Amino acid sequence: MSAVRTVLGDVSAGELGVCDAHDHLFFASPRLPGEELRAAAAARAELAAFRELGGGTVVQWTPYGLGRRAADLPALSRETGVHVVAATGLHQDVHYDEGTLAALRDRAAEVFVAELTRGIGTSGVRAGLIKVAGGFHALDAHARWTMSAAAEAHRATGAPIAVHLELGTGAMDVLELLCGELGVPPHRVVLGHLNRSPDPAAHRQAAGSGCYLAFDGPSRAHHATDWRMPDAVRDLAEAGHGDQLLLGGDTTTAAARSVNGGPGMPYLLRRVAPRLALAVGEELVRRVLTENPARAFAVQWR
């Protein structure tokens, strides 16, 4: 039976409810000094606020080495009643010191598989997806080896692969590598951040592969393109790709949390969903928040 691998164990896809398909409870990168998401109390408050508005599941895309705090996730999930899915994988090389990457150079796939099947560190908490990252309109050597490792871990486990597209670009490069060269089935790939490069033709081209497209935000850094999201979603739905769309909040800084006066996780349900319903209707928004993530993240685990 296929199941979504949450921090409290495998659950059937039908149990997810309303899903924030791309977000962060914890995240710490040297690239964002002073903006780390480290506070468990704030993470709990975000989950509770999301739950209050009908939220059922949060998929955290924080990968290896960026402060996932895996051991804290089960209690947060249990206390708030929100399913949480954790990630393995690696972000762009700028987020790591050389020693961390050197230590993983020849064993990244092995580490990803261990985190998906045995647990992250000593926490016993298993990851439910593999996160990797592309570059700006291209894939560098780091993106290639991490995606190769992700594909290998996918083959071993069945886990979905979620991809950070740098400023929303490089979708076709990612798909050609992951699905073309490395043979990952497109329906096991989720592309994130396409809203940051709102080119409708490029979106349709990527969707044509059969992969999932996760639209995320809003964010202060990407305000210039965030408001185009409803049009992009409508365009894809009209082209027949409504079943491949996902939505997430992608809270990456402490200032963006609702407990600190930002939009945070509840904003997805408080404002994004009703705004999107104006563009595509409530029925599609319901499917995008429930049925699509259930399919995207449910896996026949091996």
Q: Which residues bind Zn ion (CB under 5 A)?
A: 61, 250
Cβ proximity to Zn ion, 214 vs 237, nearer residue:
214
d(CA 212, CA 295): 10
d(CA 129, CA 59): 9
Cβ proximity to Zn ion, 162 vs 289, nearer residue:
162
Nearest approach, Cβ of residue 241 and Zn ion (Å) = 22
Nearest approach, Cβ of residue 238 and Zn ion (Å) = 27
Residues in the chain: 302
Please count the CA atoms within 13 angstroms of the CA of 40 that sit on its side-chain side: 11
Cβ proximity to Zn ion, 72 vs 250, nearer residue:
250
Q: What amino acid occupies position 89? A: G
d(CA 242, CA 229): 14
Nearest approach, Cβ of residue 253 and Zn ion (Å) = 11
Nearest approach, Cβ of residue 221 and Zn ion (Å) = 12
Nearest approach, Cβ of residue 66 and Zn ion (Å) = 10
State how far Cα 22 lies from the chain centre: 4
Nearest approach, Cβ of residue 14 and Zn ion (Å) = 26
Report how far apart, in Å, the C-alpha atoms of 72 and of each of 27, 51, 121, 206 are: 13, 18, 12, 36
d(CA 175, CA 211): 8
H or E element in which residue 134 lies = none
Residue closest to 161 by CA, chosen among 124, 119, 83, 109: 109
Q: Token pair of 276, please?
A: 């999107």
d(CA 198, CA 53): 29
